[in-house]
Chain A
Amino acid sequence: MPMYIADYKKFDVINGKGLRHSLFTSGCTHHCKGCFNAATWNFNYGTPYTKELEDRIIADLNMLDVKIAGLSILGGEPFQNVEGLSPLISRVRRECPGKDIWIWSGYTFEEIVADAHKLKLLSDCDVLIDGKFMLEERNLKLKWRGSNNQRVIHIQESLRAGQAISYE
């Protein structure tokens, strides 16, 4: 099944540090109460992912005039689209030096690390915002996440240490 894309936002300043581009994948089975993007639970929401979009994302990340910090991947649940995302993330790593990748997930860091398939994708990214959104823990003052249980995790340091290490 091809991956569907709910949205691609150029020049996003809300999701992650610096000026970024954001890709929202479609499909999520977590169904958190109070989800900010419930339309994207459907795996066929939006438009199919294409090579053309992938080329555009790479070019947009490497634009010369504007300093782009990196790519943010949100959902849906990106880790339920591992096959669809892997080629893009590999290309960003290969073709966009100096750009970081932030990824959001309803799974916790520990759950992702325990699944070899998901771990592969995680290990190519830089920052993970993890955990389900919990309405009763909602906090509007948090950066980059919606509820107190969610964490902003430095992926590479955490993988080296074998435990979740906070990004800031």
Chain B
Amino acid sequence: MGVVTANLPRIAIRAQGSEEKFYRLLDELLEACKEGLLYRIERLKGVKAKVAPILYMEGAAGSRLQAEDAIDHLLENGRASISLGYIGIHETMMALYGKSIFEDEVLPAKGLQIVKYLSRKTAEWKEETGYGFSLYSTPAESLCYRFCKLDEEKFGVIPGVTDKGYYTNSFHLDVNKKVTPFEKIEFEQVYPQYANGGFITYCEFDSLVHNPEALEAVWDYAYERVPYFGTNTPTDKCLECGYEGEFEATNSGFKCPNCGNSNPKTSSVIRRCCGYLSEPSQRPFNAGKQKEVLSRVKHM
């Protein structure tokens, strides 16, 4: 039934280093999120089956209704998810403690503690309302930019928090952190069990068309540890010079490293963004997501 995403970095900034204040503000924020989510449910009441015949009239959502029937009861008893999302555990740690979560002994537990807290809240709401509240690790395809921009306008440029132009996907390790795929998986593997509304872990690679065995070793490692894993390897093509490999991400788009071509009509550039494959040369990311893509490092 949809998502409302909590801007965790914002309340971390407002908490001014006080964990206690952070959790107080978090409670307030979560009340607002809950209200927003209940509003979404409210808006769906009285919707008729004919709006989505495959879902409601042909059985995809579990029963075959008549065109004019209301769908309300199909959304009850936890049968349709309604999700609380969250963004920027990385920036939240930077704002609250002034340190990167990855370079500290204590912070990994602090980050996880927040996500567990959110998870408990959604479980309580589910218990209380009967609706399928879940916790969603928001990938924030465009929100990564919007929240960061709003906070930069409100609070100014804060190093490591609002200065990058984007907030990081849910619990993900900073995209700019140079680690091995194994370290990234190890860091992120503790979160998915609390994010029952969705999540992904992914790693970035150079082209490995000549060495699929190496990719297999990474997958084998991931298979034992995370439920959803993606490996990004470049498959870009220049239709002007014939180059195959990886286009350079620039602030204004994507450029062939061989001939400099940046015409979207003669470029094939595919990126995984938030779990989906997209062609940003045809339909550009927003400014924040483009900066995030520019900041990504290869994990191998």
Contacts and interface: CB of A to CB of B under 8 A. Distances in A.
Interface of A: 10-11, 13-14, 17-20, 65-69, 143
B180 A11 contact: yes
Contacts of A143: 210
Interface of B: 180-182, 205-206, 208, 210-211, 213-214, 216-218, 220-221, 300
B211 A17 contact: yes
Given A65-B221, A66-B182, A68-B217, A18 B300 contact: no
Nearest to B218: A19
A66 B211 contact: no
Contacts of A18: 211, 213-214, 216-217
A13 B300 contact: yes
A65 B183 CA distance: 12
Query: Max chain B CB contacts within 10 Å: which of A10, A13, A143?
Result: A13
Contacts of B210: 143
B109 to A, nearest CB: 22
Please name the 4 residue pairs, one residue from A and one from B, whose CB atoms are nearest each other, closest first.
Answer: A19-B217, A18-B213, A13-B214, A19-B214
Contacts of A66: 182, 217, 220-221
A13 B208 contact: yes
Nearest to A69: B213
Q: Is the interface of A mostly helix, strand, loop or mixed?
A: loop
A77 B210 CA distance: 25
A65 B220 CA distance: 9
B158 to A, nearest CB: 34
A49 to B, nearest CB: 24
Query: Max chain B CB contacts within 10 Å: which of A10, A19, A68?
Result: A19
Contact of B182 (A14, A17, A65): A65
Contacts of A68: 217
Contacts of A20: 214
Contacts of A65: 182, 221
30 contacts: A11-B181, A11-B182, A11-B300, A13-B205, A13-B206, A13-B208, A13-B211, A13-B300, A17-B211, A17-B213, A18-B211, A18-B213, A18-B214, A18-B216, A18-B217, A19-B214, A19-B217, A19-B218, A65-B182, A66-B182, A66-B220, A66-B221, A67-B216, A67-B220, A67-B221, A68-B217, A69-B213, A69-B214, A69-B217, A143-B210
A68 B216 CA distance: 11
Query: Max chain A CB contacts within 10 Å: which of B205, B210, B211, B300?
Result: B211
Contacts of B300: 11, 13
A88 B205 CA distance: 30
Contacts of B220: 66-67
A13 B209 CA distance: 11
Contacts of B218: 19
Given A13-B208, A13-B300, A17-B211, A67 B182 contact: no
A19 B214 CA distance: 4
B217 A67 contact: yes
A139 to B, nearest CB: 13
A18 B208 CA distance: 10
Contacts of B206: 13-14
Nearest to A18: B213
Query: Max chain A CB contacts within 10 Å: which of B206, B208, B210, B214?
Result: B214
A146 to B, nearest CB: 14
A10 B214 CA distance: 13
B300 to A, nearest CB: 5
Given A18-B214, A65-B221, 15 more contacts: A11-B180, A11-B300, A13-B208, A13-B211, A13-B214, A14-B206, A14-B211, A17-B211, A17-B214, A19-B213, A19-B218, A20-B214, A66-B220, A67-B217, A67-B221
Nearest to A144: B210
A69 B215 CA distance: 12
A18 B217 CA distance: 8
A17 B209 CA distance: 11
A22 to B, nearest CB: 12
